[in-house]
Amino acid sequence: MTMMTKELMQKPQMHLGNRQGYCPTCEQQSEFTFLGEQRWPPHVAAKLGLSPVVMLWSCNNCHTTLTEAQDEA
């Protein structure tokens, strides 16, 4: 049986974390927290003209959730 320590479970994931950017809602440079990604079924994405993968970011200044289209790698 393998014991999972809290440290091991908290190992960082490369694409997660905060980043700096311009927020169109509060109209200033802000820091964004990565919330996660939203995936659409391919036929739904095509019908709506959306990217199948959308990244969700939260502005640390005005707490608005922003979406960013992400091409599938």
Sites of contact with Zn ion (CB under 5 A): 23, 25-26, 30, 59, 61-62
Identify the bridge partners of residue 57 per DSSP, sorted by sequence position: 34, 66
CB of 45 to Zn ion, least distance (A): 26
Closest contact distance (angstroms) between CB of 32 and Zn ion is: 8
20-53 as b/e, with b when 16 or more CB fall inside 10 Å? eeebeeeeeebebeeeeeeeeeeeebeeeeebbb
Q: How far is the CB of 34 from Zn ion (least distance, A)?
A: 15
Q: Judged by CB, which is closer to Zn ion: 24, or 42?
A: 24
Residue 26 or 44 having the CB closest to Zn ion: 26
How far, in Å, CA of 67 to CA of 58, rounded?
9
